[in-house]
Amino acid sequence: MIEPFGATAARRRPIERKTWLWFSAGLFSVILKMFFLTASHLETKHVEAVQAGDVVVMLGSSAVLPCHIITNDRLSQITWQRTIKGKAPDDVFVTIQPTNGLKYRNGQDLRFESIGNFNDKNGTLKFSNVTLKDEGSYTCIFSLFPSGTQSRNSQLVILVPPITNLMDYTPLEGNEEVPLATCTAAASKPKAEVRWIKGSLEGKVREELNETQHANGTTTTWSTLLGKPGREMNGQLVKCVISSEATKEEILETNIQVHYPPGKVNIVKRSEVSFECETEANPKATVIWTRSGQPLPPSVEVERATLQFLSQSNDVSGLYQCETTNPYGSKRAYKFVHFSSGNCTNPIIIAVFSTLLILLILAIIGVYCQRTGKLQRFSDLCGEMRQVWRQDPPAAETAEGAVIIMIIVIIIRFQISWKLHLKSCKQKKQKETIN
């Protein structure tokens, strides 16, 4: 059946009208969306967020987490979220709103305090008493209209200064390598550097470095000095240098300690009446003075290692023993001390006194002989002897020789006695036989 042209056109007009309306509405919607996107794009050109960065603080101190944006958009809320150990990723812990201010989420943590101004689009937080568990990522999110959201991320880094210690050992002298000292930098973050300044022991000792990492992120580092302990090492200075990002460089010092028994014992004369017992030992040796076969006389005193004679009589003469002892051994030495009685007078005074005494005796004899007439008799006797010498020269020479020999003998004996006396004076009445 063929329809008239007019009827077909009448049926098509409603369909075409509906299609046109749908197309027009769709086109208007697209144009409107493009307008808003363009406006939003133009508006976001005025948004500026602070660049992300690290916040580095010491353990137990306060951290400032910056959160600031510059924009003409309307700010409705600031949200803080974090990713740290023991928490779910992107854990929201604080929100800041214009009317309610700071609100805690997922549990109250009073260590967080808002120090920014919401009207200035500033949501900066102050975080007090930080711990190692707080280390991680902190994100500040701005809810803006119409641009949407903007965020700023900060990485919180916690530094932990090392607990330092220098321990020295006291090995016994020997030929095997043993620890001499250990320097420790404990529980630091990041790990510390430990090194030695060996001084005069350079090349004679070596260092051994070790470290241990802990579950909380800290590290303990220690270095040990090793060497063969000899008495020449005892008292030598070494230094441990500890370097860390968390603190300034620290230097610890110690003197190497090596234990050994007493060495050779020397008895040193300190004065005419005192002697000191000396030896090298570590720990320091105790000194005991004794007298061989007898107790120490009351006039002999011992003060530490010194033997002191308060008198110089014969009864303090004898053999004395010095014994040195420490926990690792003992050594001893002997000294024989002899004192002679009597005072030692200056030889010049004795000579002058003797000469004056002889002259005085001769003068007394002369006066006596003159008063008693014996001087005349002595003169007559001398005359008779001269007569004899003239009559019998050999006999006279014999008598004269005997007199000369007697005088020489007297002089020699006097010289011997005088030398012995001088020697005695020079030694000041003391003869010593050492060891």
Cα gap 382→218, rounded to integer Å: 122
Every domain of the chain and the residues it spans? 55-159, 163-256, 261-337
Q: Quick one: fold of 261-337? A: Immunoglobulin-like (2.60.40)
Tell me which residue of 227, 213, 284, 223 sits closest to 256, measured CA to CA: 227
Asked if residues 240 and 222 have their Cβ atoms less than 8 Å apart, the reply is no
Tell me which residue of 252, 233, 282, 260 sits closest to 182, measured CA to CA: 252
Architecture in CATH for domain 163-256: Sandwich (2.60)
Percentages of the chain per state (helix, strand, coil), in multiples of 5: 30, 40, 30
Residue ranges in the chain whose pLDDT is less than 50: 1-52, 429-435
pLDDT at 344 (0 to 100): 53
The alpha carbon dihedral of 413, 414, 415, 420 has a sign of positive
Which tens digit of pLDDT belongs to each residue from 47-67?
Answer: 334 344 799 999 999 999 999
Give pTM, 2 decimals: 0.63
Q: How many CB atoms lie within 10 A of CB 222?
A: 19
pLDDT at 258 (0 to 100): 98
Q: Say which residue the tokens 């002089």 belong to.
A: 411
Q: Quick one: fold of 55-159? A: Immunoglobulin-like (2.60.40)
Decide whether 55-159 matches 163-256 in CATH topology. yes
pLDDT at 311 (0 to 100): 86
Angle at 281 between CA 280 and CA 285, to 5 degrees: 105
Q: Which residues of 174-210 are buried (b: 16+ CB within 10 A; e: fewer)?
A: eeeeeebbbbbbbbbbebbbbebebeebeeebebeee
Which tens digit of pLDDT belongs to each residue from 20-43?
Answer: 333 344 444 433 344 333 333 333
